[in-house]
Chains A and B, each alone.
Chain A
Amino acid sequence: MKKFFLSIAPVLTLLILVNLSGCKPKSAADATGSDVASRVYVPPGKYDELYNFVSGGFSGQVSVYGIPSGRLLRVIPVFSVDPEKAWGYSEETKPMFNTSHGEVPWDDQHHLDLSQTNGEIDGRWLFANANNTPRIARIDLKTFRTAEIIEIPNSAGNHSSPFITENTEYVVAGTRFSVPLDDASGDVAIDTYKKNFKGTISFVSVAPTNGEMKLAFQLALPGMNFDLSHSGKGPSSGWFFFSCYNSEQAHTLLEVNASKRDKDYILAVNWKKAEEYVKAGKGRKQAVKYTHNVYSDSTHSATSTMETETTVIDVKDFPDIVYMIPCPKSPHGCDVDPSGEYIVGSGKLAALIPVFSFSKIKQAIANKTYDGDYEGIPVIKYEAALHGEVKKPGLGPLHTEFDAKGNAYTTFFISSEIVKWSLKDLKVLDRQPTYYSPGHLCIPGGDTRKPYGKYLIAYNKITKDRYLPTGPELAQSAQLFDISGDKMKLLADYPSIGEPHYAQALPATLISKSSLKIFKLEENKHPYVTMGEKKSNVVREGNKVHIYMTAMRSHFSPDNIEGVRMGDEVYFHITNLEQDWDVPHGFGVKGNNNAELLIMPGETQTLKWMPDRVGIFPIYCTDFCSALHQEMSGYVRVSPKGSSVPISFSLGKNSATPDSVLKKL
């Protein structure tokens, strides 16, 4: 026995060792380290530390993630219609899609900026740009809904937007695609670009009380492409910086023709100066057309107004507003460090990262240390503005954000990596691969005076083999790093909605406590509100039938409707009478050439329906509301045109049901 045991002891020992080693990470490929899971694990029922708002790119929407878990919390519809939420389908939300071009149901949503006070995130609003049909949206962070959309005239390709000033005085919009101004004849030969095409930078003011946006003024500039931008802060307060490419003024094959010069520019705008001129009545009043769409949480409806005038300041006539700083090779990111002293240009074709010094820029302007001009705009000597260069940082720098310890973090698209470097001595400190090809990155508060730091999220354009394959179209991804230590540490990656470009993040407590739970029914000022089941009604006005309907667990009132005729336009105005958190009701009608409604507690929403045939049409609740959700349904009878069936409606009058016991009393 002893002999036998001794003979198997080594085997057992080996088994134990194998087993113990099994507790360690499975392979070297798991380079994230063994404690990583606990760093991103948020136990069930616990909240994430941060909200992360991520632009949706070609989806047109904004998604909201929890960090560090990477849990998707919500997709906020902004510039694209969303039949799930009736965004753009309900009568109330249709005006949000109105533009000077008519209804535009989609856009390309690139960048986001959270509102700030004194250069710090204040948790009031989130701004979003539309690149294709130039617009800026404001999202209310109490409701997580799009509250306002303003169109930008004299513009095309609203890319360097919606970046804000330190106190959210203005949100900016710069043209990616220069075009003739709206009041000039656009019927010109494309090769007259240099003569006829203009770039514009728009300053949209934001009312400090309710956030309402107003086009304050626009700067007219030579034709070129504005890419990204950021506000100055601290010492550079009152200035705004824009990266420009295509200073070659190419209008065809930009890939080649806009990549010829060694340097393009960063445009420094003294917006305080421009504001002074506008206040003094300077600038040209120009007739234009652009829409201003506002959603009211009181009437639960949007209104769209066509605005007709803008003030244009041609920078040629006001030489102390803008200056150009040479910046290597088609800069993309244009990022200002937390101190406000350093401006980082990321030339996407450059082999280095130039860091400019604001105090040097000011000095150069004072001393007129210029290197000629660009179509009348003074060009500051490169060396006179330069703090220094980060040498050989990687390939294809795109975007830089900052931590609170004097470090900068830049994405490199071509070499697929994030590089950490020191602002002080411009030395590279760390580099980590991403999977693959990152565009933007996000450090919570990383573009403000007070970075929260701790995490960095890279947004990757290419994911190829990173997830289970899903056919030719793959999700793009977000990749979360811990940046609290000297070296960046990859914690997790997860697929994203649409194509994320810019993103923002903030500590959850800044907004979680003020998040709205219900709309107060007594404050509902919708013109078609039904304040209680007893107020339910069906009203015919010519061929329009207005149904004043309520929703309450677990029925609609009324739920039997007759007297609708072919040729009618039927409007279901549904008020959700619930005053209970997380109890929306939905509404659908068979055969409706429209979407569904999702109606939040205390809200009224309207669904239009034009019956296409005679018959009986079921209606039902589409959002599982209660144990008797499946019972929450009814019927609408549609009669032929000219039918004598009168309008009638009811709830609970079943053919076999006896009278209420109360009637007997």
Chain B
Amino acid sequence: MKTFTRLFAIFFLAAFLSCNDGATNSSETTTVAPGENPAGGQEAVQDDESQKDVVKVAASSKDHTTLVAALKQAGLVTSLSNAGPFTVFAPVNAAFDKLPAGTVDELMKEEKKEDLQNMLQYHVFMSAQSAESLTDGQTLGMVNGDNVTISGKDGKIMLNNSATIVTSITASNGIVHVIDGVLLPPKK
């Protein structure tokens, strides 16, 4: 008898659910971090006519493969393909190589994603700042919430006295300043 009741209940439930075809598919929730779009966001737009955005500028540079891999791992590609405007300080591969051995490998681990995001967001400033517009002693409030300080030294623009701007490239949605050091967010 009990089995019968259960079977009946299952049948009843099945009949009820059968009406919901399709409508409930979207409620299948997986946790997605802010800015991450598993289906591909604006970076997936097919467009060979427009100027390159900051992500595409970095992706087209052979000196920025580490940065681009890190942006992908951190799920920041969709956000940086948005309208911006962004100022991106883009460390070259050699800058990452200067970090203590194993640092990058460690940050690329899934469980260190938040640290990686924090570090990369420390390289992005909202609004397009040309080199000319930067002033001595200026502090830039970066996307991760910490500050970067600008100074001039030996004919070069320095960030936090630890990295210099090597060259600047205008992108469709901002400016990429190529830098020779990785900016490390202040420890908390």
- Complex Cα spacing A660 to B45, Å: 37
Say whether A580 faces chain B, with CB atoms less than 8 Å apart.
Answer: yes
Say whether A662 faces chain B, with CB atoms less than 8 Å apart.
Answer: yes
Residue on A nearest B5 in the bound complex, by CB: A5
- Complex Cα spacing A19 to B85, Å: 53
Separation in Å of the A514 CB from the closest CB of chain B?
11
Q: Is the beta-carbon distance between A627 and B172 smaller than 8 angstroms? A: no
Q: Which residues does chain B contribute within 8 Å of A5, judged by CB atoms?
A: 1, 4-5
A-B contact pairs, 20 of them (CB 8 A): A9-B8, A15-B12, A19-B15, A23-B18, A23-B19, A517-B50, A553-B85, A553-B173, A554-B127, A578-B51, A580-B51, A581-B45, A581-B50, A583-B172, A626-B83, A626-B85, A660-B134, A662-B134, A662-B152, A664-B152
Interface extent on B, as a size class? 35 or more
Say whether A665 faces chain B, with CB atoms less than 8 Å apart.
Answer: yes
Q: Is the beta-carbon distance between B19 and A658 smaller than 8 angstroms? A: no
Residue on A nearest B40 in the bound complex, by CB: A45
Separation in Å of the A560 CB from the closest CB of chain B?
15
Say whether A167 faces chain B, with CB atoms less than 8 Å apart.
Answer: no
| 8 Å CB interface, B10-63 against A | 11-12, 15-16, 18-19, 39, 45, 47, 49-51, 53
* Contacts from B to A (Cβ < 8 Å): 1, 4-5, 8, 11-12, 15-16, 18-19, 39, 45, 47, 49-51, 53, 82-85, 126-128, 131-138, 150-152, 155-157, 172-174
* Contacts from A to B (Cβ < 8 Å): 1-2, 5, 9, 12, 15-16, 19-20, 22-23, 45, 517-518, 552-554, 578-581, 583, 601, 625-628, 631, 652, 657-662, 664-665
- Complex Cα spacing A583 to B136, Å: 32
Q: Is the beta-carbon distance between B5 and A657 smaller than 8 angstroms? A: no
Q: Is the beta-carbon distance between B172 and A660 smaller than 8 angstroms? A: no
Separation in Å of the B103 CB from the closest CB of chain A?
29
Apart from A20-B19, A661-B135: 16 A-B pairs, beta carbons within 8 A: A16-B12, A16-B15, A19-B16, A20-B18, A23-B18, A517-B49, A517-B50, A553-B85, A554-B127, A579-B50, A583-B172, A626-B84, A627-B85, A628-B126, A662-B132, A665-B152
Q: Which residues does chain B contribute within 8 Å of A553, judged by CB atoms?
A: 83-85, 128, 173-174
- Complex Cα spacing A581 to B1, Å: 67
- Complex Cα spacing A652 to B50, Å: 27
Q: Is the beta-carbon distance between A660 and B8 smaller than 8 angstroms? A: no
Q: Is the beta-carbon distance between B18 and A660 smaller than 8 angstroms? A: no
Q: Is the beta-carbon distance between A625 and B133 smaller than 8 angstroms? A: no
Residue on A nearest B136 in the bound complex, by CB: A661
Q: Is the beta-carbon distance between A662 and B83 smaller than 8 angstroms? A: no
Residue on B nearest A2 in the bound complex, by CB: B1
- Complex Cα spacing A583 to B173, Å: 10
User: DSSP class of A's interface residues: helix, strand, loop or mixed?
Assistant: loop
Q: Which residues does chain A contribute within 8 Å of B49, judged by CB atoms?
A: 517-518, 581
Q: Which residues does chain A contribute within 8 Å of B45, judged by CB atoms?
A: 581
> Given A518-B49, A661-B152: A627 and B83 within 8 A (CB)?
yes
Q: Which residues does chain A contribute within 8 Å of B151, judged by CB atoms?
A: 661
Residue on A nearest B9 in the bound complex, by CB: A12
Q: Is the beta-carbon distance between A12 and B8 smaller than 8 angstroms? A: yes
- Complex Cα spacing A301 to B101, Å: 60
What are the 9 A-B residue pairs with the smallest beta carbon separation, nearest first?
A580-B172, A579-B51, A553-B85, A626-B83, A517-B49, A661-B136, A580-B50, A661-B152, A23-B19
- Complex Cα spacing A9 to B133, Å: 79
Q: Is the beta-carbon distance between A652 and B133 smaller than 8 angstroms? A: yes
Q: Is the beta-carbon distance between A19 and B19 smaller than 8 angstroms? A: yes
- Complex Cα spacing A1 to B4, Å: 12
Q: Is the beta-carbon distance between B11 and A22 smaller than 8 angstroms? A: no
Q: Is the beta-carbon distance between A662 and B18 smaller than 8 angstroms? A: no
- Counting chain B CB atoms within 10 Å of each CB, the highest count among A45, A627, A631 belongs to A627
- Complex Cα spacing A625 to B134, Å: 23
Q: Is the beta-carbon distance between B136 and A658 smaller than 8 angstroms? A: yes
Q: Which residues does chain A contribute within 8 Å of B19, judged by CB atoms?
A: 19-20, 22-23
Residue on B nearest A5 in the bound complex, by CB: B5
Q: Which residues does chain A contribute within 8 Å of B18, judged by CB atoms?
A: 20, 23
CB < 8 Å: which of B16, B47, B150 contacts A517? B47
- Complex Cα spacing A508 to B133, Å: 46
Q: Which residues does chain B contribute within 8 Å of A626, judged by CB atoms?
A: 83-85, 173
CB < 8 Å: which of A517, A581, A627, A664 contacts B126? A627
Q: Is the beta-carbon distance between B134 and A661 smaller than 8 angstroms? A: yes
Q: Which residues does chain A contribute within 8 Å of B5, judged by CB atoms?
A: 5
Separation in Å of the B41 CB from the closest CB of chain A?
11
Q: Which residues does chain B contribute within 8 Å of A22, judged by CB atoms?
A: 19
Q: Which residues does chain A contribute within 8 Å of B172, judged by CB atoms?
A: 578-580, 583
Q: Which residues does chain A contribute within 8 Å of B4, judged by CB atoms?
A: 5
Q: Which residues does chain B contribute within 8 Å of A601, judged by CB atoms?
A: 50
Q: Which residues does chain A contribute within 8 Å of B133, judged by CB atoms?
A: 652, 660
Separation in Å of the A280 CB from the closest CB of chain B?
48
CB < 8 Å: which of A1, A12, A578, A658 contacts B135? A658
Q: Is the beta-carbon distance between B8 and A662 smaller than 8 angstroms? A: no
Separation in Å of the A490 CB from the closest CB of chain B?
22
